[in-house]
């Protein structure tokens, strides 16, 4: 099923996983998927390391297993930086052969030390390429706090609309910790004529190193309330995990009340955290599917 169709019926609840690192036992990801598929999410997406390489094969295999072994709709991420058209086509052909219908088309992060190669400058180029040659449902990324490379919020929104005009059917946001950024972004996107579903990307923060990395990489603002939680519990692993879960539940509860199209949970391959959050918001999702649409 194409993910864009899911939004016609309900508030979507989806999950994201990443392939195991090369030195990790493959079994771990399948234990994770076993637990995550019990939640019956609307779909599970699988990240892909930019620049291609062997890790991409794992993305395809895991996305295929999610779809064909666990019976959950799957989405394969595909960052295009460094790829030629022929390489992109080979990956897309393989996804198609595995029966995967959904691709999250991305540019990927540019490494400062590498000269740009490949046939695609931006995600929009990959989206146009997919639209021209394939029948995938296309998802794209968006940034409530503006992409770090953008010269302005207006410019970022202009290019986001371009991605939708090129063929993106559904958007997923970068993580944010203050819902006000999402609400303002959603309103501006609507004014800009962006009319595809926008899922809110929520990352339950369960360790300090993880959030420090995210802040550096994505330019996400830390609200005072969040910093207080972090400072109070940073030396107690269990308390910080539970506080991170509670914070994410609070964010999701508020977003559902505001009529969000969907929640995309960055699980960090932690099924315990995903299960706890799902249990807490399951009834809210089913109520909103009966009333909000």
- 156 sits near ligand FAD (criterion: CB under 6 A): yes
- 201 sits near ligand FAD (criterion: CB under 6 A): yes
Taking contact as CB under 6 A, which single stretch among the options 45-53, 92-100, 190-198, 220-228 is the one that binds ligand FAD? 45-53
- And the tokens for 50? 């930019």
- Strand pairing partners for 243? none
- Nearer to ligand FAD among residue 171 and residue 243 (C-beta): 171
- 29 sits near ligand FAD (criterion: CB under 6 A): no
- 116 sits near ligand FAD (criterion: CB under 6 A): no
Q: What is the rounded CA–CA span in Å between residue 177 and residue 200?
A: 11
φ, ψ dihedrals at 103, nearest 5°: -125, 130
- 124 sits near ligand FAD (criterion: CB under 6 A): yes
- And the tokens for 111? 């490494």
- 48 sits near ligand FAD (criterion: CB under 6 A): yes
CB of 185 vs ligand FAD, minimal distance in Å: 12
Tell whether the torsion through CA atoms of 216, 222, 227 and 229 is positive or negative: negative
**Three-state SS for 83?**
coil
Give 110-157 as a DSSP string.
PPTTS---SS-SSHHHHHHHHHHH---EEEEEE-TT--TT-S-HHHHH
CB of 12 vs ligand FAD, minimal distance in Å: 14
- 122 sits near ligand FAD (criterion: CB under 6 A): yes
Taking contact as CB under 6 A, which single stretch among the options 36-44, 82-90, 120-128, 251-259 is the one that binds ligand FAD? 120-128
- 58 sits near ligand FAD (criterion: CB under 6 A): no
Cα dihedral 289, 262, 75, 195, rounded to 10, equals 100
CB of 109 vs ligand FAD, minimal distance in Å: 5
Residues 125-154 that bind ligand FAD (CB under 6 A): 141, 147, 149-150
- 168 sits near ligand FAD (criterion: CB under 6 A): no
Q: What is the rounded CA–CA span in Å between residue 201 and residue 261?
A: 11
Catalytic residues: 16
Q: CB of 9 within 8 A of CB of 259? A: no
Interacting residues with ligand FAD (CB under 6 A): 47-48, 50, 77, 79, 104, 106-109, 122-124, 141, 147, 149-150, 155-156, 159, 162-163, 172, 174, 201
């Amino acid at each position: 099923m194409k993910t864009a169709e899911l939004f016609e019926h309900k508030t979507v609840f989806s999950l994201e996983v990443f392939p195991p690192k090369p030195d990790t036992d493959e079994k771990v990801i399948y234990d994770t998927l076993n637990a995550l598929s019990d939640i019956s999410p609307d779909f599970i997406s699988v990240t892909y390391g930019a620049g291609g390489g062997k890790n991409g094969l794992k993305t395809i295999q895991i996305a295929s297993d999610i779809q064909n072994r666990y019976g959950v709709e799957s989405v394969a991420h595909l960052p295009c930086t460094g790829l030629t058209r022929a390489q992109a086509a080979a990956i897309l052909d393989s996804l198609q052969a595995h029966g995967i219908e959904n691709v999250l088309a991305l540019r990927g992060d540019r490494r400062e030390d590498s000269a740009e190669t490949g046939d695609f400058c931006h995600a929009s180029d990959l989206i146009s390429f997919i639209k021209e040659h394939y029948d995938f449902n296309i998802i794209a990324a968006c940034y409530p706090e503006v992409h770090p490379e953008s010269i302005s919020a207006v410019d970022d929104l202009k290019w986001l609309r371009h991605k939708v005009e090129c063929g993106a059917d559904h958007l997923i946001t970068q993580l944010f910790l203050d819902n006000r950024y999402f609400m303002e972004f959603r309103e501006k996107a609507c004014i800009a004529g962006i009319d595809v579903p926008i899922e809110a990307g929520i990352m339950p923060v369960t360790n300090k190193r993880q959030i420090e990395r995210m802040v550096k990489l994505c330019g996400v603002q830390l609200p005072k309330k969040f910093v207080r939680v972090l400072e109070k519990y940073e030396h107690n692993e269990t308390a910080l995990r539970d506080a991170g879960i509670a914070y994410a539940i609070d964010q999701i509860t508020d977003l559902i009340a505001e009529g969000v199209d969907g929640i995309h949970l960055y699980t960090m391959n932690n099924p315990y955290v995903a299960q706890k959050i799902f249990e807490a918001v399951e009834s809210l999702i089913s109520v909103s599917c009966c009333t909000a649409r």
